[in-house]
Amino acid sequence: MKVQLAGLELANPVIAASGTFGYGIEFEEIVSLERIGAFVTKGISLKPITGHPAPRIVQTAAGMLNAIGLQNIGVEEFVARKLPALARYPRCKVIVNVFGYSVSEYLGVIERLNHAEGIAAYELNVSCPNVHVGGMTFGADPGSLEYLVRQARSITQRPLIVKLSPNVTSIAHMAKVAAGAGADALSLVNTFLAMAIDVETRRPRLSNITGGLSGPAIKPIALRMVYEAAQAVSIPILGMGGIVTAEDAVEFLLAGAAAVEVGTASYADPRATERLAHSLESWCRGHHVERVSSLTRALEIPGNR
């Protein structure tokens, strides 16, 4: 079940997605942290962020909408309180999701984290749809994305995963820009900009009016985007969007992903990531797949179109 990506060796290709797994340590009594391939922290910023007021989560058909607004404890507290606790799980791979309102804030977070131990890689969140500055502003504009990734690349030796926004016209183009600027891997997709309205009150269901849609509702679109990105670049891709079952994960691997991230499924079942790691292994056994990595980019197109 081992996979290699961006210089990392993961015990299996199942990764808990950012924003749905806290800072990892909160899950220590729920999930065996060393049995999943890795986890990604909630987006970490230079200063603590309180986020948007409630309501900031709404259930939708086959998914959920969120507008958390990047609530997090800030890099100093993360390094002082959360990272040391994770040292109890030395085989657990910690990927830190990095967020900033400006290029200098992104770089400030990385510089602070560079001095901390116990971090396997960075995932640069250039795709949050729920803040008015930063986030998606970088992910939706090729020039800004290029500049940010190049700057981030120049200040760290650690693997740099760039998390792309699906809220763009051409994911292939953005994938090429990020790869060209020095990303070691790409992760996609973040949530889709969306909204819900309460017809009785005639008000938006989220205090932020709009939010990001995730869960099974987005899976076919996410899969198509992973496929298009994989056609455009040769660096590894971490695929996500609505993954729940082993079959969902296999679809993403075949479309081009080297590993998968699981987000919303952890809301329905907090053990979803560990269960998926097990069920994916059983699926491989049942289908005589000796190495899960052989599924990556193994999509067969009839007539080889």
Ligand X SMILES: Cc1cc2nc3c(=O)[nH]c(=O)nc-3n(C[C@H](O)[C@H](O)[C@H](O)COP(=O)(O)O)c2cc1C
Cα 210 versus chain centre, distance:
20
Is 92 labeled as catalytic in the residue annotation? no
Q: How far apart are CA 291 and CA 284, in angstroms?
A: 8
Q: What is the DSSP letter of 49?
A: B
Judged on CB neighbours under 10 Å (0-12, 13-18, 19+), 199 is exposed
For the chain, the 3-state helix, strand and coil shares in percent, each to the nearest 5, are 35, 20, 45
193 beta partners: 212
* Smallest separation (angstroms) from ligand X to the CB of 302: 29
Between 214 and 296, CB nearer to ligand X: 214
Amino acid of residue 130: N
Identify the active-site residue in 128, 185, 230, 244: 128
Q: Are 244 and 190 in contact (CB under 8 A)?
A: no
Q: Which residues in this chain contact ligand X in the complex, by CB under 6 A? A: 17-20, 42-43, 66, 68, 70, 97, 125, 128, 163, 190-191, 214-215, 218, 240-243, 262-265
Between 10 and 68, CB nearer to ligand X: 68
Helix (H) / strand (E) containing 40: strand 38-40
- Please report the sign of the dihedral spanned by the C-alpha atoms of residue 194, residue 199, residue 200, residue 202: positive
Q: Which two tokens stand for residue 40?
A: 């990604």
Q: Which residue is at the shortest CB distance from ligand X?
A: 19
Between 88 and 269, CB nearer to ligand X: 269
Give me the active site residues, please: 128
